[in-house]
Amino acid sequence: MTKQSSRSSETDNHQTKAKRSLLGGIRRKIRLGALALLIPLLSCSLMAGPTIIQIDASHEGAPTTTVLNSEAYNIYVGPGVSNPATEYGALVDLLGVNNWFELYPSVIPDQGWRFTDPKAPDQTRSAVYIIWISHDFGGPLYTGDLQVGFNSRKPGTGYYGTPGPNPPPGADVNAGPVQSNWVTLYSDATLVLQFKGYKTK
């Protein structure tokens, strides 16, 4: 009876250890599985943030447009936004972002900026760059999504009008002389808009 009890006790101990080992393995797998699920969420969290649009006109030729932190966007450079004889231009549609039809009146207000050339002969027409925020009602996609546009005058082809000191809401404002370093024109949780231009000597 003593030997049988001893064997029975040893068997129980082995079974208990086996159960503990099995449970430990299951717990480890659960932890690893949870970690595997958490990593993409953390990656998305770290990547989340406003869409950043950078318009770089600090070099010769057409400005370079860079879009960061955006899942879907469209860049249009055709008729209606540019004139090959006198200017460069582009419209950037951020697809599904800040849609006017879904969010009005809580949308980013339409607004614009004009950078000027202090050496222009007529300071009432001295703007060489126009950058603006709007929503796509006039094309190219007609979706109401958030849109950023720009025009830049080609050298020797004249100037755009200079905004007055008190423009009405939504009209372009005078952003001052062209800057060759990055200037943040707009920034919130949805959009960061930055620009730098070619500063004439």
Instruction: Please tell me the predicted confidence (pLDDT) of residue 200.
Output: 76
State how far the Cα of 19 lies from the Cα of 23, in Å rounded to an integer. Answer: 6
Q: Do both 57 and 156 map to the same domain?
A: yes
Q: Are 54 and 69 in contact (CB under 8 A)?
A: no
pLDDT band at 192 (very low <50, low <70, confident <90, very high): very high
Examine the domain organization and report whether 8 and 85 are in the same domain. no
Is the domain of 9 the same as that of 104?
no
Total number of domains constituting the chain:
2
Range of the domain at 175: 51-196
The predicted-structure confidence for 143-181, as pLDDT tens digits, reads as follows 999 999 999 999 999 999 999 999 999 999 999 999 999
Please tell me whether residues 174 and 77 are part of one structural domain.
yes
Same-domain check for residues 30 and 60: no
What is the spatial distance between Cα 67 and Cα 54, in angstroms, rounded to a whole number? 7
Do 93 and 36 share a domain, yes or no? no
Global pTM value: 0.77
For residues 58 and 95, membership in a common domain is answered with: yes
Q: Are residues 101 and 137 in the same domain?
A: yes
- The distance between the two most distant Cα atoms of the chain, rounded to a whole number of Å, is 115
Question: Does some domain include residue 82?
Answer: yes
- How far are the Cα atoms of 1, 10, 19, 200 from residue 7, in angstroms, in the given order? 10, 5, 18, 95
Q: How far apart are the first and last CA of the chain?
A: 106
Q: Domain for residue 141, yes or no?
A: yes
**pLDDT by residue (tens digit) across 76-113?**
999 999 999 999 999 999 999 999 999 999 999 999 99
Q: How many whole angstroms separate alpha carbon 1 and alpha carbon 6?
A: 8
